Amino acid sequence: MTARHGWWLWRGGVFLAALAPLALWAWQVATHAAGPEPGRFLLLNTGLGALWMLLLTLSLTPLTRLTRWKGFTLIRRQLGLWTLAYACLHVLSYALFILGLDWALLGSELVKRPYIIVGMLALLGLMALGATSSHWAMRRLGKRWKPLHRLAYPILGLVLLHFFWVVRADLKEWVMYAVAAALIMATRLPPVARALPRVRRAVSRA
């Protein structure tokens, strides 16, 4: 097997792994294993899926620095697009199962639940990143591409704020995600980022 075929298998495996939760949730809904409110079940899980994908995407840069393995870099765009896909499914679930596609309800929902505005801002940011994730966009934007894609950091903050607002009665799960996000963001600090290659070399010598 050539290295190129190996990378395609790796990307294919990541694709199937990212798709698997959607297949599982669809099966649970179809077999009535999603609880009494399958719409809310899908709304919650697609939102959590988007958060998971965003955290995984942001973890790839420190993992690459720590291991120097090219495979993490190869799936960064794919996981970023999966983040957008899960976020879009989250919004679609809200429109279908909460609003019932009755857009006249949206105004009162925004007043009662302002965290929806926070979530929509995060979605708009993800859409901007998704639209500029191609090699063509990188060439077109030039030096502006990296600053634009640093929007992923405030987007993560918006997503966590949105989630906090939703589950503030029980913050145990939120704290877990917030700690994971803080650890990932800490690897962006220059002293930590510079230390990662040293950690790799120390481990390889050991």
Burial class (CB in 10 A: 0-12, 13-18, 19+), 47: buried
The answer to whether residues 43 and 34 touch, using CB atoms and an 8 Å cutoff, is no
The answer to whether residues 122 and 87 touch, using CB atoms and an 8 Å cutoff, is yes
pLDDT attached to residue 205: 65
Confidence label for 203 from pLDDT (cuts 50, 70 and 90)? low
Average confidence (pLDDT) over 174-195: 90
pLDDT attached to residue 111: 81
Sign of CA dihedral 115, 170, 87, 159: positive
Contacts of 122 (CB under 8 A, 6+ apart): 87, 155, 158, 159, 162
pTM of structure: 0.92
Nearest CA to 74 out of 137, 2, 11, 149 is that of 11
Residue 166 token pair: 């939703």
Judged by average pLDDT, the poorest of 16-20, 79-83, 168-172 is: 168-172
Average confidence (pLDDT) over 32-55: 94
Residues composing the chain = 206
User: Which one-letter DSSP state was computed for residue 32?
Assistant: T
